[in-house]
């Protein structure tokens, strides 16, 4: 497989990232029988881009050569974060691989990039909630296990994994 390039979301990639988020939201909406408001999605996406320079945030557009293949977004939970959180844990907030790049090892490489970010910041545990259709099998294959907790934000099961050292 060709090398994956992890890029900050600069002005050059701003519109591409918005389109990826729309595709991601559309897929989740189908799996969860909901309808994400495009205006809310755009505001939220813009907010993510603004936060990417924070040390606790890992937001990257993922490419193979000039082809965008997906994105990843994670954070290290702090007391100031809103919503469900585990202070000091890494949280994979959003993670998306375009369908044509799935089952080729891209998602695994993308995850290891994020795990390295957490490792460098002394995080020992990572958690997430997984889309039941595409996410759950992927995250379980990477070693994430269900905790029995349900996130009050999306009513999905919380999964955890220790950071590989």
For the chain, domain boundaries: 4-162
Predicted pLDDT of residue 35:
84
pTM of the model: 0.89
pLDDT band for position 117 (50/70/90)?
very high
Q: Give the pLDDT of residue 80.
A: 84
What angle (nearest 5°) sits at the alpha carbon of residue 156, between those of residues 150 and 162?
A: 70
**Is 90 exceeded by the pLDDT of residue 126?**
yes
Q: What is the mean pLDDT of residues 3-32?
A: 88
Neighbours of 118 (CB within 10 A): 22
What's the rounded mean pLDDT across residues 69-83?
90
Contacts of 66 (CB under 8 A, 6+ apart): none
Q: CA 98, CA 85: separation in Å to the nearest integer?
A: 27
Read off the tokens for 37. Answer: 């408001």
CA–CA gap between residue 71 and residue 81 (Å, rounded): 22
Compute the distance between CA of residue 33 and CA of residue 28 in angstroms, rounded to an integer.
Answer: 8
- 4-162 carries CATH number 2.30.30.230: no
Higher-pLDDT residue of 80, 134: 80
């Amino acid at each position: 497989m060709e090398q994956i390039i992890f890029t900050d979301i600069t002005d050059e990639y701003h519109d591409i990232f918005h389109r990826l988020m729309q595709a991601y939201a559309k897929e989740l909406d189908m799996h969860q029988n909901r309808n994400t408001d495009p205006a809310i999605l755009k505001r939220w996406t813009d907010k993510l881009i603004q936060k990417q320079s924070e040390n606790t945030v890992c937001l990257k557009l993922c490419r193979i050569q000039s082809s965008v293949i997906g994105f990843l977004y994670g954070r290290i939970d702090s007391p100031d974060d809103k919503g469900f959180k585990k202070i000091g844990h890494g949280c994979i907030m959003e993670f998306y691989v375009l369908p044509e790049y799935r089952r080729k090892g891209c998602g695994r490489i993308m995850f290891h990039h994020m795990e390295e970010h957490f490792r460098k910041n002394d995080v020992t545990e990572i958690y997430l909630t997984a889309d039941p259709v595409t996410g759950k099998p992927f995250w379980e294959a990477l070693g994430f296990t269900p905790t029995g907790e349900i996130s009050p934000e999306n009513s999905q099961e919380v999964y955890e994994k220790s950071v590989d050292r």
